[in-house]
Structure formats: C-alpha cells, structure tokens
Chain A
Amino acid sequence: MSNEALHGHPEVVTTHDVHHDEHHVHHHKETFITKYVFSQDHKMIAKQFLITGMIWAVIGGLMSVLFRLQLGYPDQTFPWLEDILGRWAKGGKISAENYYALVTMHGTVLVFFVLTGGLSGTFANFLIPLQIGARDMASPFMNMLSYWFFFGGSIVMISSLFIQTGPFSGGWTAYPPLSALGDASPGSKTGMDLWITAMAMFVVSSLLGGLNYISTVLNMRTKGMSMTRMPLTMWALFFTAVLGVLSFPVLLSGFILLLFDRHGGTSFYLSDIYIAATKTALPNEGGSAILFQHLFWFLGHPEVYIILLPAMGMASEIISINARKPIFGYMAMVGSMFAITILAFLVWAHHMFVTGLNPFLGSVFVLLTLLIAVPSAIKVFNWLTTIWKANIKFTPGMMFALGFVSLFISGGLTGIFLGNSTLDIHLHDTYFVIAHFHIVMGVSAFFGMFAGIYHWFPKMYGRFMNNTMAYIHFWVTLAGAYLIFWPMHYEGLAGMPRRYLDYTGWESFKQFAELNKFISTVAIIVFAVQLLFIFNFFYSIFKGRKLTKPNPWGATTLEWTTPIRPGHGNWPGEIPEVHRWAYDYSKDGRDFIPQTEPIGPNESHH
C-alpha cells in the first residue's frame, strides 16, 4: 500500500514531462504536504471531502444505533455500553440528556457534514472539471480553503462532544429560546457556542466551494461544451451551488443574531421568559422566537434540495449510461431542476404551519409547496421512460441509482401529505415526518452518493470495488431502509411525536413497543452492512481489480477520456473539444458515441 496505490502516478510523471509547457510547472516541486494535505488538485480535495464525509457518516450512523437501542429497549440496561461509552451510558442506559445530544448531533452531522459537505464536496470537486473539460477549479486555492474550513468545523463540532456540559441537544433545527438559554438545557451552554462556531465554519466552507463551482461551470467549459451539452450531473451540481450560495448566508445571519441573544443581551428571539430552574424572569421583551424559524427554513428547505439535486444528477447520468440509452427528456430534466431551484426558495414556511402563522399566508405556502411536486413528478417519469426498452447493465452504481428512484418516489409522495396544511396540522412533528424526510432526503441521497462512489471509483483510484460486497450492500440497505422507515408512517398516523426517548408512559403511543424493537434491530443490521461498504472502499483502493482500459462503463463523457490515473491538470495533452451532447447511447446502431467525436455526415438527427 504505497502512495502509488492511493494516487500512483507513473503515467502522470511522464505526462508532466511531456507537457510541462502549459499550466502546471509548479507541480514538479510537489511534496507530500502539498500533494496529500494542502492539495490544490480538485481530485485530491474531492477525496479529502469523501473520506472525511465517510468518517462523519460512521459517527452519525453509530449515534443512531445508540439512540435506537434506547428506543427499542427503553426498559433494559446494557452494561457493556458503559464500558465503551463511559459517562454517556451511565449504568448501561442512555440518559435523556445524552439521548437528545445524540439525536441532535446525528441530525446535524448527517444533514450538513455528510450529505452536504461530503456529497457536494466530493462530487462537485471531482466531477466538475473532469466533465466540463477544465484543468482544475476556477480558484484551486479557495477550493483548498473550502476543505480546510470544513475540516475545522468538523473538529470544533467533534470537540463539543467532550466538554463538561455536553454537546448541543436542542434538535438540529436549533430553535430558540431553547438554544439561546443555557439555563433551559445544559446542552445550550458551551455546547451551543461550539455548535454555532462549527456551523459558521461550515457555511464559510460551503460558500467558498459553491462560488468556485458556479464560476468554474460558467467560465471554464472546454471548446464546444455549451451549457446544453453538459451532462445532467453538471446541471445538478451547478444548481446545488446556486442554492447554497443564496441561502446559506441567511442561515448564518440567523445564527449571528442568536449569538447576540446568547451573549450580547439583545432580544431578537426572546420575549416574556420565566426560567423556573433559576426562578428568574429574563429581561428580554419584544423579540420573536418565530423569526429564527423563518431564517432557518429559508436555508432549511433549499438545503433539502442541496442534498437531493446532486443525487438526482448522478442518478440520471448513471441510469442513462447503464441503460445504454439517452436520458429521456434532457431539456425537461434541466427545466425541472431549474423549477425546483426557484421553488425551493418559496416554500420554507411549510415547516411552520402550526407556529401560529397567518392561515392565509399558510395557504399560499400550501400552493407553492404542492407546485414543487410537479417538477419532481416529471423527473420520475423521465427516469422510468429512460429504462423503458433499455438494455440494462446492473452495475452496483446502476442498482443504487434505481434504488434512489424508488426511494425518491416513496418519500416524495408523503411530502404531498405534509405540504397540505390540513394534514400537517395532524402529522407535524410526528414519526410521519421522520419517515418522510429520511426516505426522501436521508436514504435516497445516500443511494445517490453510493451510486456515484461505485460508478466513479475506477476514475478516482484506477481500480474497481468488489462487486459481491456491493450487491450485498445494495440489497440489504434497500430492504432495510424500507423496513425501518415504512412502518414509521403508521406511528405518525397514531400521532406519535418525534424526539421522545420513551413512550411507555403514554397511553396513546405505547402500543408500538414491539415495532420499535423490530426497527432498532433492523437499524443495527443495516449499519453493520455500511461498515462492509467502508471496508470494501478502503480494501479496493489498494487491492481492487485494476482498470485495464480508461473507459470501463462505455460512457460518453469527458472524464473517461483522461488517462486511467490522471495527474493534476487532468489531460496530458490538449483538453479535448466537445462536439455533441452527453447522451448518444445506442444511436445509429452504435453502442455509444463519445462527446469528443464530431458529428458524422450521415448521422441521424433527433
């Protein structure tokens, strides 16, 4: 396992020698530090994001296993837990305080650090220059900073787990006054300051990355690569970046006001509060706790599409390649992503139907929310038509892409329940919501990410991942995801609230004890299978079957025209010119026609 295996560059060295004229003279002086740590190569930064994201995913997943133990077995103790976790599981039981800390960290970590940082950070970095035909990002240095802010934020977030008063425990949405008042909850003391600091660094990272992705896509496409010839992954990552750049600053402003309320004596969110624990009436009057929710969800809703769009883009690309068929309705796919991007900014208050929001305003948000289901439906039908009369190769990437479509359908449809205020007034903050957003955003985005990893792994490391392990990973995860989250809809229909650690005291919700056990058991199995994936990933980096040809999937796009292990700069020679769109599969009797091939004189039009 030399560095070569990770990154080995026999070809690279030669290419550099031949072509050092153009862009990267400085690369001759590369040291270990500049190559693997403070790298400015977009491919290396992508791998840094990916591996950091994977570590985060294991941590976040493990947290859910722990709190699922409590939910499944509320009346039992697990002494061995105390051996491993110490004060987190005193007497083998997770206390309320720790339960809420785990839930909060689980949500924050998976939504932001894995499915935003890990997902966009990996694939936008890796794919944008390779698929549009650029040597690197517009600003490699900003790109490097983006990773290091992400890393710094991660360290701060982790460190909050180890402080005396514990990490923040008020839910990933961090609503004040709970998140503003240390006296209301121990997690809202230093833990919350660290949480805000980590999130602020995360926002900076997202902005640095996002601006880079946007400018690279707009300015650095190779000759012939018009916007409408870009693969759908590029469109998806581009819209994702636009969403992030426009909405993350609003979240940051919300956090800054929260900091002022916490430490500056202001009253943006606080009013009329009496803390029983300290028998004090707080001085704050006239603030609005709901203001924070507007600021939060103005990011929060676009955020779900920030998570979902990259998965949609990758699934589109991978489905088309392995169906050996053009994606159906390319322009409709771009159009629907555009519509989603716009509408994503206009639906945030659907998370706030029961906050006392003006009912008329609520009705406007109902309309806009259900409107967003139309572009979602278009995408689903286009994917279905893409595999109609196809010739499907079930590569692991393809299977995860198909699984993504299935989950997106299941989760998207329950959004139609929640977007309707009449039903949300019943279902809000119950397990129905948990089922909805885990399926549509959690698991399906993970499926998109897995599809991307299996599909582009050969490009990243010059080797394949092991297929058998991949198939086991796929089937267990798909079945497990449905077994875990499908029954939760029924708990929601019984009104069972989320963020409870024990239902035994409730006449209305205790009938699900058996079910909760079952769900917890499945969750543990599914988690174990993710470890199998992680193992497969690292094992294959060093021992996977080697790539023998540069284009293993028979894809049309530019990344497969680079050498098996491209160096910094991607193409040893000239950047190839593009002559057609990315989806000429099975056209005119040919299996596929690369984007770099000029249109033939007798080629048919479509």
Chain B
Amino acid sequence: MTTTGILLLAILILGFLITFQIAKASEYVSVLKGEKKAFEQNNRINAFLMVVFLVLGLIGVWWCNKALYPKTLMPYPAASEHGKNIDTMLMITIAITGIVFLITQILLFWFAYKYQHSEKRQAFFYPHNNKLEVLWTTVPAIALCILVGFGLFYWFRMTGEAPADAMQVEITGKQFGWIYRYPGKDGEFGKKYYRNIDEATGNQLGLIWRDTTIIKKDRHNNPVGEAKLKADPQGFDDLVDNTAMYLVKGKAVKLIINSRDVIHDVGLSHFRLKMDAVPGTPTTMWFTPQYTTDEMKKITNNPKFEYEISCDQMCGNSHYAMRGIIKVVTPEEFILWKAKQKPAYALAFPETVATLAQPAAPVADSAASTQRHP
C-alpha cells in the first residue's frame, strides 16, 4: 500500500479510538454521577443543539443560495417561450413550498427545544382535535390545487400541437452521439428502415434510396423472410449531419425524436425541456428559441457558451459524454448555412448527384446492399 493509504487508514483508526475512549469514559462518568443526573445533562445539551442546528441550518440555507444561485440557470432568462413558463411555475412552487418549509422546520426544532424534559412539568394529554385535522387537510389540498392548476395550464400549452409553420428537425440518438436530419427543399422526410442502416456507405439512418430487398434474419442468422423496400425520392434531398443542430431564432421548431439502439434523452437545459428517444417509438417536442447562440454568449457573459444537448437517460458506458450542440442563428445565417450543406444521398453517391435534379429512376439494386449484415 502507498503511504497515502496508510496515512488515511491511520487517521481513521486514531479517530475511532479517541471517540471510543471518550464514549466509554462518559459512560463511566454517568454511572458515577447517577443515571438521572447524566440524563438531565445530556437532555439539556441535545435540546440546545436542536436550536443551534435550526439557526445554523437556516443561515446555511441562505448562504448556500447566495453561493450557488449564480451557478444555476435561474439568473438568465430561459431560452425558449416554454422555458419562461417553466421558470414562472418554478418560482410559484418555490414560494409556496418555501413558506411551508420554514414554518414546519422552525416549529419542529423550536418545539424540541422548548418542550425538553423537565421534572416540574407533565406533558399535555392531547390525543386528537378534529377541527385541527380538517384544517391541515384542507389547506394543503387548496395549495396543491393551485399548483396543479398552474402546472396543467402550462403543461397543455407546451405539449399541445406545434404551430403549423414550425420547421421540422429529426434528431436520432445512438451510442454515443446524435444524428440530425433536415428535410430538403420538398419539406418532407424520406422514409427509412432500420435494417437498411449501413454506416460504411454513409447511410446512418437507413434511408431508403433504392429499391431494395432485405432478407430478414432471426437471431441465429437464419433467413425468415424478406422486406421489399421501395425507394423514397423524398429522401434524396434530406440533410443528415452529426456536428450540430441549426435552429432559427424566433422560429418554432418541432423535433422528431428517435433512437437507433437504446433509450436516450434529448436534454435541453437552457430551453428547460427534455424528451426521451425511444427505439421503435418516435416522440416529439416543439419550442421556439428566443436568443441566438451569440446573444446567449453576451447574456451569460461566457464567450464559450453553447446550447448543449445532454443525454439524460442512462444509455451505456459513454452516456456521460453524449454531447450534442444546438446553434441558434438568425434567419439569414440559417439560409447561408443550409446552402452550404450537401444532402446525405449526394455525399454517399457523388456520381449520381446529377440525377438528383430529376430523381426519376433510382439506381438499380445491388447485391451488396441486400446482404450487408451477414
């Protein structure tokens, strides 16, 4: 063992021995003093410590808030309209629960101190009082109704239909990264099929670019049937990208969320939103970005600010590093960015780019594409 290890162990054991000796000694002392006297002394000390704990605790709460509040998201405005509602809801909830917290904790520790044992007093025999019970059933019930009311009002707003003119972006989680897809000029996503995924040929989503017959295999690799896929021309102009998701300030966006393997979660802390990415069951979420990334850099006073996408659902050993980026830009910047992007199909088959203009005859099926996962 290294020296640090031995040192730590020695300190630990020493600490134990000292505590133990003190504990034993105090037991002997209490025997000498008499059980009653020892009890009274202990009781006084612990009662006193109850108020000490209360006072220090409340100071600690205040101090902790002072130190840590600036490190949360709360000093800055939420980056989406929904997020602003959520912040309001948060404040209402903090106010109501904060009051309850203060009252109950103060009563608890104060009563503990005030009603410590005394020979001179007897406890008050007070087994029940129906009026009080009714009081503290109805008051919390009312307070909670208020919270449910506000909560559901915002909830239905957030989870309602996206505005008709919202742009659509598909985001797909995989171990361990994000794939972003935009519809091309046609505004429609092309069809995809997971058995058609082939990273080697640049088809990480399994878009159906050609008429394909896929031999379905069971888990022992025996063929059990086939799937005939018809090429979907709508997929020819889809943009597929792994670097960042570009969104437009002030324009609503509807995310279509997918997963290729296990469950992930699109966590957007600055927008105050998140939604799971579930394999086989697409989910959606919409919001409107309020500030561009550059504006946020100024607001947060952090030149390195990025809208990060954190994976918020345990997805394997690199879950902690499954980071995505959203770039919120102005409409002009977005047009410029988009103009520079090449569709995934064009990247995968540079030689057929010319046919893209009239995507009439998909390239004939090749043997390779049918048997790509032996």
A interface residues, Cβ below 8 angstroms from B: 78-80, 83-84, 96-97, 100, 169-171, 173, 175-178, 181, 184-186, 265, 270-277, 279-283, 285-290, 323-332, 354-356, 359, 362-363, 366-367, 370-371, 373-374, 377-378, 380-385, 387-394, 399, 402, 405-406, 409-410, 413-414, 416-417, 420-423, 425-426, 428-430, 466-469, 471-472, 475, 478-479, 482-483, 486-487, 490, 493-495, 497, 499-503, 505-509, 511-512, 515, 528, 531-532, 535-536, 545, 583, 585-589, 591, 606
Interface status of B73 (Cβ within 8 A of chain A): yes
Query: Which residues of B, 42-61, contact A by the 8 Å Cβ criterion?
Result: 42-43, 46-47, 49-50, 53, 57, 60-61
Query: Provided the pairs A389-B124, A466-B27, A497-B310 are in contact, do residues A487 and B64 lie with their beta carbons within 8 angstroms?
Result: yes
- A422 and B158 contact, CB distance less than 8 A: yes
- B15 and A178 contact, CB distance less than 8 A: no
* 5 cross-chain CB contacts under 8 A: A359-B160, A422-B152, A469-B19, A499-B319, A586-B123
Q: Which of B42, B49, B115 contacts A475 (CB 8 A)?
A: B49
Interfacial chain B residues near A494, Cβ < 8 Å: 71-73, 269
Q: CA of A280 to CA of B16 in the docked complex: distance in angstroms?
A: 56
Query: Which residues of B, 118-152, contact A by the 8 Å Cβ criterion?
Result: 118, 121-129, 132-133, 136-137, 140-141, 144, 147-148, 150-152
Query: Provided the pairs A80-B2, A325-B123 are in contact, do residues A388 and B115 lie with their beta carbons within 8 angstroms?
Result: yes
B interface residues, Cβ below 8 angstroms from A: 1-2, 4-5, 8, 12, 15-16, 19-20, 22-24, 26-27, 30, 39, 42-43, 46-47, 49-50, 53, 57, 60-61, 64-65, 68-69, 71-74, 83, 85-86, 89-90, 93, 96-97, 100-101, 104-105, 107-109, 111-112, 115-118, 121-129, 132-133, 136-137, 140-141, 144, 147-148, 150-152, 154-156, 158-160, 174-175, 194-195, 197, 199, 206, 216-219, 224, 260-263, 265, 267, 269-270, 272-276, 278-281, 283-284, 302, 304-306, 308, 310-321, 323, 373
Interfacial chain B residues near A289, Cβ < 8 Å: 263, 278-281
Q: Which of A285, A483, A545 contacts B27 (CB 8 A)?
A: A545
- A487 and B68 contact, CB distance less than 8 A: yes
- A423 and B90 contact, CB distance less than 8 A: yes
- A423 and B151 contact, CB distance less than 8 A: yes
- B144 and A370 contact, CB distance less than 8 A: yes
Q: CA of A271 to CA of B262 in the docked complex: distance in angstroms?
A: 10
The distance from the CB of A270 to the nearest CB of chain B, in whole angstroms, is 8
- B159 and A409 contact, CB distance less than 8 A: no
- A391 and B156 contact, CB distance less than 8 A: no
- A467 and B42 contact, CB distance less than 8 A: yes
Interfacial chain B residues near A326, Cβ < 8 Å: 125-127
Q: CA of A393 to CA of B115 in the docked complex: distance in angstroms?
A: 9
Interfacial chain B residues near A328, Cβ < 8 Å: 126-129
Considering the complex, give the chain B residue whose CB is closest to the CB of A281: B195
- A362 and B155 contact, CB distance less than 8 A: yes
Interfacial chain A residues near B217, Cβ < 8 Å: 283
- A413 and B86 contact, CB distance less than 8 A: no
Task: Tell me which of A84, A281, A328, A486 has the highest count of chain B C-beta atoms within 10 A of its own C-beta.
Answer: A281
Interfacial chain A residues near B60, Cβ < 8 Å: 482-483, 486
Q: CA of A507 to CA of B323 in the docked complex: distance in angstroms?
A: 10
- A532 and B86 contact, CB distance less than 8 A: no
Q: CA of A69 to CA of B251 in the docked complex: distance in angstroms?
A: 44
The distance from the CB of A286 to the nearest CB of chain B, in whole angstroms, is 8
Task: Tell me which of A277, A286, A494 has the highest count of chain B C-beta atoms within 10 A of its own C-beta.
Answer: A494
- A177 and B16 contact, CB distance less than 8 A: no
- A422 and B89 contact, CB distance less than 8 A: yes
Query: Provided the pairs A420-B93, A497-B312 are in contact, do residues A80 and B1 lie with their beta carbons within 8 angstroms?
Result: yes
Q: Which of A290, A377, A392 contacts B140 (CB 8 A)?
A: A377
The distance from the CB of B10 to the nearest CB of chain A, in whole angstroms, is 13
Q: Which of B5, B105, B108, B274 contacts A426 (CB 8 A)?
A: B274
Task: Tell me which of B74, B101, B281 has the highest count of chain A C-beta atoms within 10 A of its own C-beta.
Answer: B281
What 6 A-B pairs are tightest by C-beta distance, nearest first?
A495-B269, A271-B280, A80-B5, A356-B283, A359-B159, A500-B320
The distance from the CB of B259 to the nearest CB of chain A, in whole angstroms, is 8
Q: Which of A169, A402, A420, A512 contacts B151 (CB 8 A)?
A: A420
- A426 and B93 contact, CB distance less than 8 A: no
Q: CA of A326 to CA of B1 in the docked complex: distance in angstroms?
A: 56
- A410 and B265 contact, CB distance less than 8 A: no
Q: Which of B26, B144, B311, B316 contacts A184 (CB 8 A)?
A: B316
- B42 and A394 contact, CB distance less than 8 A: yes
- A389 and B115 contact, CB distance less than 8 A: yes
The distance from the CB of A387 to the nearest CB of chain B, in whole angstroms, is 5
Q: CA of A423 to CA of B91 in the docked complex: distance in angstroms?
A: 10
- B320 and A409 contact, CB distance less than 8 A: no
- A416 and B147 contact, CB distance less than 8 A: yes
The distance from the CB of A526 to the nearest CB of chain B, in whole angstroms, is 13
Q: CA of A505 to CA of B176 in the docked complex: distance in angstroms?
A: 15
Q: CA of A505 to CA of B311 in the docked complex: distance in angstroms?
A: 13
Considering the complex, give the chain A residue whose CB is closest to the CB of B8: A80
- B19 and A472 contact, CB distance less than 8 A: yes
- A493 and B109 contact, CB distance less than 8 A: no
Q: CA of A500 to CA of B308 in the docked complex: distance in angstroms?
A: 15
Interfacial chain B residues near A503, Cβ < 8 Å: 320
Interfacial chain B residues near A178, Cβ < 8 Å: 262-263, 314-316
Considering the complex, give the chain A residue whose CB is closest to the CB of B154: A422
- A391 and B115 contact, CB distance less than 8 A: yes
- B128 and A490 contact, CB distance less than 8 A: no
- B373 and A280 contact, CB distance less than 8 A: yes
Query: Provided the pairs A392-B115, A499-B320 are in contact, do residues A420 and B123 lie with their beta carbons within 8 angstroms?
Result: no
The distance from the CB of B333 to the nearest CB of chain A, in whole angstroms, is 21
- B111 and A373 contact, CB distance less than 8 A: no
Q: CA of A468 to CA of B137 in the docked complex: distance in angstroms?
A: 40
Interfacial chain A residues near B100, Cβ < 8 Å: 409, 413
Q: CA of A512 to CA of B70 in the docked complex: distance in angstroms?
A: 11
Given A176-B262, A283-B218, A324-B123: 18 more A-B contacts, CB < 8 Å: A178-B316, A279-B373, A285-B280, A366-B148, A367-B152, A370-B144, A378-B140, A389-B115, A394-B42, A409-B101, A421-B152, A429-B312, A468-B23, A482-B60, A490-B69, A497-B312, A532-B16, A606-B125
- B151 and A421 contact, CB distance less than 8 A: yes
- A265 and B219 contact, CB distance less than 8 A: yes
Q: CA of A287 to CA of B2 in the docked complex: distance in angstroms?
A: 52
Interfacial chain B residues near A487, Cβ < 8 Å: 64, 68
The distance from the CB of B3 to the nearest CB of chain A, in whole angstroms, is 9
Query: Provided the pairs A181-B262, A363-B156, A532-B16 are in contact, do residues A495 and B267 lie with their beta carbons within 8 angstroms?
Result: yes
- B16 and A288 contact, CB distance less than 8 A: no
Query: Provided the pairs A184-B262, A289-B279 are in contact, do residues A380 and B104 lie with their beta carbons within 8 angstroms?
Result: yes
- B148 and A420 contact, CB distance less than 8 A: yes
Considering the complex, give the chain A residue whose CB is closest to the CB of B224: A283
The distance from the CB of A364 to the nearest CB of chain B, in whole angstroms, is 10
Q: Which of B39, B93, B273 contacts A417 (CB 8 A)?
A: B93
Considering the complex, give the chain A residue whose CB is closest to the CB of B276: A355
- A585 and B2 contact, CB distance less than 8 A: no
The distance from the CB of A524 to the nearest CB of chain B, in whole angstroms, is 10
The distance from the CB of B48 to the nearest CB of chain A, in whole angstroms, is 10
- A416 and B64 contact, CB distance less than 8 A: no
Q: Which of A177, A467, A501 contacts B263 (CB 8 A)?
A: A177
Q: CA of A164 to CA of B146 in the docked complex: distance in angstroms?
A: 54
The distance from the CB of B366 to the nearest CB of chain A, in whole angstroms, is 18
Q: CA of A384 to CA of B103 in the docked complex: distance in angstroms?
A: 11
Query: Provided the pairs A80-B2, A331-B128 are in contact, do residues A359 and B320 lie with their beta carbons within 8 angstroms?
Result: no
Q: CA of A289 to CA of B128 in the docked complex: distance in angstroms?
A: 49
- B262 and A493 contact, CB distance less than 8 A: no
Interfacial chain A residues near B155, Cβ < 8 Å: 359, 362-363, 366, 421-422
Q: CA of A421 to CA of B126 in the docked complex: distance in angstroms?
A: 40
Query: Provided the pairs A363-B155, A508-B269 are in contact, do residues A490 and B312 lie with their beta carbons within 8 angstroms?
Result: no
- B93 and A423 contact, CB distance less than 8 A: yes
Interfacial chain B residues near A186, Cβ < 8 Å: 317
